[in-house]
């Protein structure tokens, strides 16, 4: 496997977390500024399901190859990113969108 592919595998969890965070923050900012706030919670949950699935897949691959440090790290980063995604999604149920 070449260098770029190995680097991407290790950092997959970071990439997914960053894309998810940018997406939910962007949806919310635009939803509140342009008057489609009722769609925001659904968009947030949708983005979280996609991100969660990608992270679970990365975790599974990392777990299978966990004896090798690089694989373990890839899975562990994805696991932490998964926790962060869950943390950041919970407010969509609990907090008013644009108050």
Which position among 19, 32, 45, 50 is part of the footprint of other proteins (CB under 8 A)? Answer: 32
> Of 14, 89, 1, which Cα lies nearest the Cα of 58?
14
Q: By C-beta, is 28 or 58 nearer to other proteins?
A: 28
Q: Does 76 bind other proteins (CB under 8 A)?
A: yes
- Decide if 24 contacts 44 (C-beta within 8 A): yes
CA pair distance 37, 48, nearest whole angstrom: 17
List of residues contacting other proteins (CB under 8 A): 3, 6, 14, 17-18, 21, 24-25, 28-30, 32-33, 40, 69-70, 72-73, 76-77, 80-81, 83-84, 87-88, 90-92, 94-99
């Amino acid at each position: 496997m070449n260098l770029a592919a190995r680097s991407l595998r290790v950092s997959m969890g970071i990439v997914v977390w960053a894309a998810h965070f940018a997406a939910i923050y962007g949806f919310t900012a635009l939803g509140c500024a342009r008057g489609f706030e009722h769609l925001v919670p659904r968009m947030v949950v949708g983005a979280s399901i996609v991100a969660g699935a990608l992270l679970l897949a990365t975790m599974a691959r990392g777990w299978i190859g966990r004896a090798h440090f690089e694989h373990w790290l890839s899975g562990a980063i994805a696991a932490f990113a998964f926790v962060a995604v869950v943390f950041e999604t919970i407010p969509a149920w609990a907090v008013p969108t644009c108050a």
